[in-house]
Amino acid sequence: MKRVLWWLGQCLLVVAASFFLLYGISLFRSAYELNEPFNFIMMIFASNLIILVNAVLLVGIVLRMINVYKLLKKGSPGEPGK
């Protein structure tokens, strides 16, 4: 049960990071519709920060999931049937 909850939590984190990554991309695209230079620059910086943080989180979560999957597939010496 503990493993299922861990995988479910990781999947929820992937979904959340993907949502905010797409939100950052949409902010970036909408920045080009602004007419004032100051607002344009602030929107570009804010969207790039959102994209950067969520891309790093997404890569980190996926890499952790891959490593745990490899460890579970390999099996521990104390677990029967693996």
Q: What is the pTM of this model?
A: 0.80
- pLDDT tens digits for range 28-52: 999 999 999 999 999 999 999 999 9
Question: How crowded is residue 43: how many other Cβ atoms within 10 Å of its Cβ?
Answer: 18
- pLDDT tens digits for range 41-82: 999 999 999 999 999 999 999 999 999 999 988 876 555 444
